[in-house]
Amino acid sequence: MAAGSGPSPIPVAAPCSASPCPPPPPTRCRPREVRVTTPPDEASPAPRAPTVHIIDDDEAVLRGIGLLLRSVRIPTVGHLSGLAFLDALPAQDDVIGCVLTDLRMPGLDGIGLLRRLRERRFRRPVIVMTAHGDISTAVRAMKEGATDFIEKPFDEDILLAAIEAALRARPAAPAEPAPPEPEAARAAARIAALSPRERDVLALLVAGKPNKTIAHDLGLSPRTVEVHRARLMARLGVHSLAEAVRLALLAEHG
């Protein structure tokens, strides 16, 4: 810079020409990822597991059996009366696995409930709970359509086995015809293979009589009746009195 000269001018960018300045190159944005989630109410519903419906007027019994079954992942619904179950039946029929009902209840008892269910052509298995030794009522229940009975107080393993067997059972078709003659004939043949005394004991069991009464009627000791009862069940190939009664009814009525 020469001495005495003024300050150098600050360089200024030349203005744009008459033509407009070119726009800046576009920025390439990465497309945003969009996740589509199906609302819960639009998702395919999971199949509902068959449910055991428990009917008893004793809330403690409902809670106890419910806890037992749910502990092995069997869903349950409790009803304090047979009428309450019938009221809920239209909305529940598609997911009912089986019914477990007490027989002695105020209002509509277990026998009356079985008759109402038969009128509605109810097709699921029904297990009835009876007081210990009340065989006559249990036999009446089976004649009305019950598939099994359990005496109170019952063993948990026996109850679970009966429930699991009922859940595996195939629902009967509406207005299902009577069993074919060959099945009734086979049942009669198995009954005929019993000894005369075993047939006597079985006939009295089907009549609903307890061991002590059978012993009195046949002039035997209660212990001897128990032996005959165990032997006839072994010969028939059944594991419960309910099965023996069902077989005898099949042989008698077809």
Q: How confident is the chain (254 residues) per 10-residue block, as mean pLDDT? A: 49 49 54 38 55 94 94 94 90 79 92 94 91 75 86 86 85 50 82 92 88 93 92 87 83 72
pTM passes above 0.75: no
**CA trace torsion 6, 12, 14, 20 (10° rounding):** -150
> How confident is the model at residue 48, as a pLDDT?
67
> How confident is the model at residue 9, as a pLDDT?
52
From the list 132, 135, 89, 134, the residue with the least C-alpha distance to 108 is 89
> How confident is the model at residue 38, as a pLDDT?
34
CA 139/CA 200 separation, integer angstroms: 16
Report the alpha-carbon angle 248-99-153, nearest 5.
Answer: 75
Give the residue numbers spanning the domain of 222.
181-253
How many structural domains compose the chain? 2
Q: What letters, b where the CB count within 10 A reaches 16 and e where it falls short, cover 28-54?
A: eeeeeeeeeeeeeeeeeeeeeebbbbb
> How confident is the model at residue 137, as a pLDDT?
82
From the list 74, 103, 227, the residue with the least C-alpha distance to 162 is 74
CATH code where residue 231 lies = 1.10.10.10
Q: What kind and span of H or E run contains 53?
A: strand 51-55
CA 118/CA 19 separation, integer angstroms: 95
CA 162/CA 210 separation, integer angstroms: 22
Which residue carries 């015809």 as its tokens?
Answer: 177
Contact predicate 99/85, CB 8 Å = yes
Same domain assignment for residues 192 and 162 = no
From the list 19, 16, 87, 85, the residue with the least C-alpha distance to 52 is 85
Q: Give me 201's structure tokens.
A: 């004991």
CA 181/CA 167 separation, integer angstroms: 27
> How confident is the model at residue 244, as a pLDDT?
86
Contact predicate 200/218, CB 8 Å = yes
Q: Give a yes or no: residue 217 inside a domain.
A: yes
> How confident is the model at residue 199, as a pLDDT?
93
Last residue of a domain, one of 168, 194, 211: 168
Last residue of a domain, one of 143, 168, 193: 168
Q: Give a yes or no: residue 35 inside a domain.
A: no
Q: What kind and span of H or E run contains 54?
A: strand 51-55
Q: Give a yes or no: residue 60 inside a domain.
A: yes
Same domain assignment for residues 152 and 242 = no
> How confident is the model at residue 73, as a pLDDT?
93
CATH code where residue 86 lies = 3.40.50.2300
